[in-house]
Amino acid sequence: MSDKIANLISIPIDLVHKRMYNKQMDYEWNPEKAKSNFRKHKIHFADAVSAFSDDYALTIEDQSTDERRFITLGRDAFGRILLIVYTYRHDYLIRIISARKATAAERQQYES
C-alpha cells in the first residue's frame, strides 16, 4: 500500500466529508442580550457568526443546562479565537446566546 493511501485511510471520516453535510445556516439573537454581551465581552454577535465557517472549529454539546445548547471554539474573520454558546431553532437557524474571546486554556485546546 502506498504512503498516500495509508495516510488517507487514517483520516477520520467526518474530516473527509465535512463539507458534504454542511448546510446554509441562518443566525438570530436577542438584541438586548447582544448589547449586554458586547458590554461584557467586547464581541458583537454579528462578528461571531464568521467563526462557524472555521474549518478547524471544535463543537461540543453543553451538558450543563436543561435546554439543548452547543459550544463552539472557532476563529472569526478578525482572527480571534472565540467561544460561542448557542442553540438550534428549527432546522437551519442558530440562536446565539453568548460569545467571548477564548481563554488561554481554550486557545491551547483549539490549537492542539
Fold of 23-111: Nuclear Transport Factor 2; Chain: A, (3.10.450)
Task: Over range 10-34, report the average pLDDT.
Answer: 66
**Dist. CA 101–CA 48, nearest whole Å:** 10
CB 94 within 8 A of CB 25: yes
In this prediction, residue 90 has a pLDDT band, given cuts at 50, 70 and 90, of confident
**Dist. CA 8–CA 23, nearest whole Å:** 25
38-48 confidence digits (pLDDT tens): 999 999 999 99
In this prediction, residue 66 has a pLDDT band, given cuts at 50, 70 and 90, of confident
92-110 confidence digits (pLDDT tens): 899 999 999 999 999 999 9
Lookup: cell for 96: 446565539
Question: Taking the domains of the chain in order of start, what are their residue ranges?
Answer: 23-111
Eight-class DSSP state of 92: T
Q: Is the pLDDT of residue 112 over 70?
A: yes
Q: Is the pLDDT of residue 57 over 80?
A: yes
The strand order across the sheet containing 81-89 reads: 26-28, 93-101, 81-89, 69-75, 58-62
Burial of 58 (0-12, 13-18, 19+ CB in 10 A): middle
Predicted TM-score of the model (pTM): 0.77
| Cα angle 41, 44, 47; round to 5 | 125
